């Protein structure tokens, strides 16, 4: 396995960093946190023109046939730039369409995603906040030529601007949880859908989505009836590894900024970087991030190759969540009092580290997955 980036990936990295520096400065990040939609159509259009939305979509559907590792490179820069947009939500839903949608569905929706025309959101977690099949209580019952969906989904990112939901439902109440899971594509404008904003520490536009007697055409079913729990598991591997790549970007920003500050901040007549405790903090942060990057990219490489990666994805998510949280805590200590204020950029990453920790599996849940993969 080669960890070196290709020339194309380095170009993608530089292009993304330049774009975010110019188009999405930290002042705009704060504005978007306060904005109820968290969405700038003009910037979304520019991202689409750069090919971001179609990065992992095959050329035959209007994309650029990029790899998952290409996406990880882009997500690193998005994490470093604190981009506020429905990009992450849309790209993980894209992975579901690529995985189990039929040809007709792919031809209808993938080109519209690639062009930036449509925004998607994942409606998966429920009040139990679990990521296992037993936590799915939203039901879809057959009604005439379609299905009627009832239930509540929580922590749905970007539902406030979504055109479609990828909704995970229970369609067979008499079977085991894993044997009764069906996934539907739901138009967000369908009667019976209610979106309620949820306040979060990172202001990352999470929502409660209520489905009350929502009618979905039979043709909007993705994959097999009662048989798509494994697709959800593949989605979680994809989403958790992608979120790890985004966290790497934030962690890298933290170390780079702390090192620069430690060199210029003078205390007791010396740069604080000359003090042993600060050196140890920075050395530990750098070592933790460097080691964790290899876990994350190994999981990403396995996923890209279509190899089993449940254990590796869980290892990466558990480790990256802990490392990002610890690094941002140390970062606040290095910056001192100013690092605790909302005016300083350090706070943006500190809050995001804590918000990302439970998404797609908390460290404890990931460790349970690892134990299960070990046969325990």
Tell me the C-alpha distance between 100 and 182, whole Å.
Answer: 11
Asked if residue 144 and residue 114 are part of one domain, the reply reads no
**pLDDT-based confidence at residue 182 (cuts at 50, 70, 90):** very high
Q: Is residue 189 part of a domain?
A: yes
Q: Are 59 and 51 in contact (CB under 8 A)?
A: no
What is each CA distance from 32 to 29, 115, 116, 135, in whole angstroms?
Answer: 5, 23, 19, 32
> Are 96 and 196 found together in one domain?
no
Q: Which tens digits make up the pLDDT trace of 119-155?
A: 999 999 999 888 999 899 999 999 988 999 999 999 9
Point out the domain boundary residue: 227, 243, 266: 227
Regarding whether 320 and 237 lie in a shared domain, the answer is yes
Residue 103 confidence (pLDDT) above 70: yes
- Same domain for 263 and 336? yes
Whether residues 73 and 144 share a domain: the answer is no
pLDDT reported for residue 82: 95
pLDDT classification of 340: cutoffs 50, 70, 90? confident
Domain end position, chosen among 192, 211, 227: 227
Q: If we measure between CA atoms, which residue out of 159, 109, 139 comes closest to residue 214?
A: 139
In terms of domains, do 359 and 241 share one? yes
Asked if 217 and 234 sit in the same domain, the reply is: no
Does residue 108 sit in the same domain as residue 181? no
Q: pLDDT at position 140, please? A: 96
Does residue 235 have a pLDDT over 90?
yes
Task: List the beta bridge partners of residue 214.
Answer: 149
Distances (CA, A) of 185 to 162, 220, 265, 326: 12, 5, 53, 38
- Tell me the C-alpha distance between 370 and 376, whole Å: 9
* Domain membership of residue 93 as a residue range: 7-118
Task: State pLDDT tens for residues 238-279.
Answer: 999 999 999 999 999 999 999 999 999 888 889 988 899 999
2 inside domain: no
Residue 51 burial (CB count, 10 A): 17
Q: Are 235 and 360 found together in one domain?
A: yes
| 214 and 286 part of one domain | no
The answer to whether residue 125 is domain-embedded is yes
What would the two tokens of residue 312 be?
């590796």
Let me know if residue 181 belongs to a domain: yes
DSSP-H helix ranges across the chain: 7-23, 26-34, 41-49, 68-81, 87-100, 103-114, 229-264, 276-304, 310-335, 346-356, 363-373
> Do 272 and 158 belong together in one domain?
no
Site of tokens 């809050």: 351
CATH number at residue 151: 2.40.110.10
134 in a domain, yes or no? yes
- Among the listed residues 132, 221, 140, the one whose alpha carbon sits nearest the alpha carbon of residue 177: 132
CATH number of the structural domain spanning residue 63? 1.10.540.10
Number of domains in the chain: 3
Q: Among all chains, which residue has been given the structure tokens 């504005």?
A: 31
Q: Whole-angstrom Cα distance, residue 295 to residue 278? A: 26
* Residue 219 C-beta-side C-alpha neighbours within 13 Å: 6
Report the pLDDT averaged over residues 20-26. Answer: 96
Residue 1 has a pLDDT of 59
Residue 92 and residue 76 share a domain: yes
Q: What is the mean pLDDT of residues 148-166?
A: 97
Q: Is residue 240 part of a domain?
A: yes
**Which of 90, 118, 146 represents a domain boundary (last residue)?**
118
The verdict on residue 28 lying in a domain is yes
Euclidean distance between CA atoms 249 and 229, whole angstroms: 31
CA angle (69, 70, 76) in 5-degree steps: 85
pLDDT band at 73 (very low <50, low <70, confident <90, very high): very high
CA distances from 42 to 24, 45, 98 (A): 11, 5, 27
Query: Please, which pLDDT band fits residue 337 given cuts at 50, 70 and 90?
Result: confident
Q: Residue 310 maps to which CATH number?
A: 1.20.140.10
Residue-wise pLDDT tens digits, 187-212? 999 999 999 999 988 888 999 999 99
pTM (two decimals): 0.95
pLDDT value, residue 106? 98
Instruction: Examine residue 1 and state whether it is found in any structural domain, yes or no.
Output: no
Mean pLDDT of the chain, nearest integer: 94
Phi-psi region of 132 (alpha: psi -120 to 50; beta: other; left: phi over 0): beta
pLDDT at 2: 65
């Amino acid at each position: 396995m080669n960890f070196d980036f290709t020339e194309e990936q380095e170009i993608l990295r530089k292009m993304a960093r330049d774009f975010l520096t110019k188009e999405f400065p930290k002042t705009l990040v704060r504005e978007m946190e306060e904005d109820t939609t968290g969405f700038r159509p003009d910037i979304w259009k520019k991202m689409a023109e750069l090919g971001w939305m179609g990065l992992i979509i095959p050329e035959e559907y209007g994309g650029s046939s990029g790899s998952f590792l290409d996406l990880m490179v882009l997500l690193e820069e998005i994490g470093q730039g604190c981009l506020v947009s429905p990009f992450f939500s849309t790209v993980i839903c894209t992975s579901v369409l690529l995985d189990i949608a039929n040809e007709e569905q792919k031809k209808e929706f993938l080109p519209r995603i690639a062009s930036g025309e449509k925004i998607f959101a994942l409606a998966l977690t429920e009040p139990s906040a679990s990521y296992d099949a037993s936590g799915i209580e939203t039901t879809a019952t057959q009604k005439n030529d379609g299905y009627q969906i009832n239930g509540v989904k929580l922590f749905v990112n970007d539902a406030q601007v979504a055109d479609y939901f990828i909704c995970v439902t229970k369609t067979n109440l008499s079977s085991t949880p894993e044997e009764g899971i069906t996934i539907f594509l739901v138009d967000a404008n369908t009667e019976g859908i209610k979106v309620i904003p949820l306040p979060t520490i990172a202001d990352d536009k999470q929502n409660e989505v209520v489905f009350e007697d929502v009618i979905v055409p039979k043709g909007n079913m993705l994959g097999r009836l009662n048989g798509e729990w494994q697709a959800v598991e593949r989605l979680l591997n994809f989403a958790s590894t992608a979120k790890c790549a985004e966290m790497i970007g934030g962690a890298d920003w933290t170390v780079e900024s702390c090192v620069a500050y430690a060199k210029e901040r003078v205390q007791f007549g010396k740069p604080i970087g000359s003090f042993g405790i600060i050196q140890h903090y920075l050395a530990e942060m750098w070592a933790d991030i460097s080691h964790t990057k290899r876990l994350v990219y190994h999981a990403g490489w396995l996923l890209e190759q279509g190899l089993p990666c449940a254990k590796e994805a869980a290892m990466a998510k558990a480790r990256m969540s802990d490392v990002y949280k610890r690094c941002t805590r140390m970062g606040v200590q290095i910056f001192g009092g100013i690092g605790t204020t909302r005016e300083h950029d350090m706070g943006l990453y500190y809050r995001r580290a804590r918000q990302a920790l439970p998404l797609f599996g908390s460290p404890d849940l990931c460790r349970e997955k690892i134990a299960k993969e070990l046969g325990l």
